[in-house]
């Protein structure tokens, strides 16, 4: 029987779950000024709007609309539009 070549052993270990807040801080530190200041916390509304093939601005949720307006405003400022 031929000898098997020695191969490195790769272990598949579960990744440690990092709390969302800690992950956001890591990403903010990593990308510094590229991170937008406004955030979207109404992610459920985004999924609902997408499922209905509807704009978030047509949803009856003033908080979600306000968040999107803030994010879009910062994007347009950064793009110089």
pLDDT tens for 25-75 read 888 888 888 888 888 887 888 899 999 999 999 988 999 999 999 999 999
Classify residue 20: in a domain, yes or no.
no
Q: Which two tokens stand for residue 32?
A: 């510094």
Q: Read off the pLDDT of residues 51-64 as tens digits, 9 standing for 90 and up.
A: 999 999 998 899 99
Q: 76 lies in which domain range?
A: 37-81
DSSP alpha helices (H): ranges in the chain?
Answer: 20-31, 43-51, 62-79
Count the domains in the chain: 1
Whether 13 maps to a domain, the answer reads no
Quick check: is 30 in a domain? no
Contact 34, 16 (CB under 8 A): no
Q: Is residue 11 part of a domain?
A: no
Tokens of 54: 């509807």
pTM over 0.75: no
In a domain, 68, yes or no: yes
- Residue 15 covered by a domain: no
Is 28 among the domain residues?
no
Residue 7 within any structural domain of the chain? no
Task: Say if residue 68 is exposed, middle or buried (CB neighbours under 10 Å; 0-12, 13-18, 19+).
Answer: buried
């Amino acid at each position: 029987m031929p000898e098997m070549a020695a191969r490195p052993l790769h272990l598949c270990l579960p990744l440690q779950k990092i709390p969302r807040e800690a992950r956001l801080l890591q990403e903010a530190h990593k990308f510094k000024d590229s991170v937008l200041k406004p955030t979207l916390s109404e992610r459920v509304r985004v999924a609902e709007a997408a499922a209905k093939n509807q704009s978030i601005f047509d949803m009856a949720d003033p908080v979600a609309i306000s968040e999107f307006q803030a994010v879009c405003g910062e994007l347009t400022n950064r793009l110089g539009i």
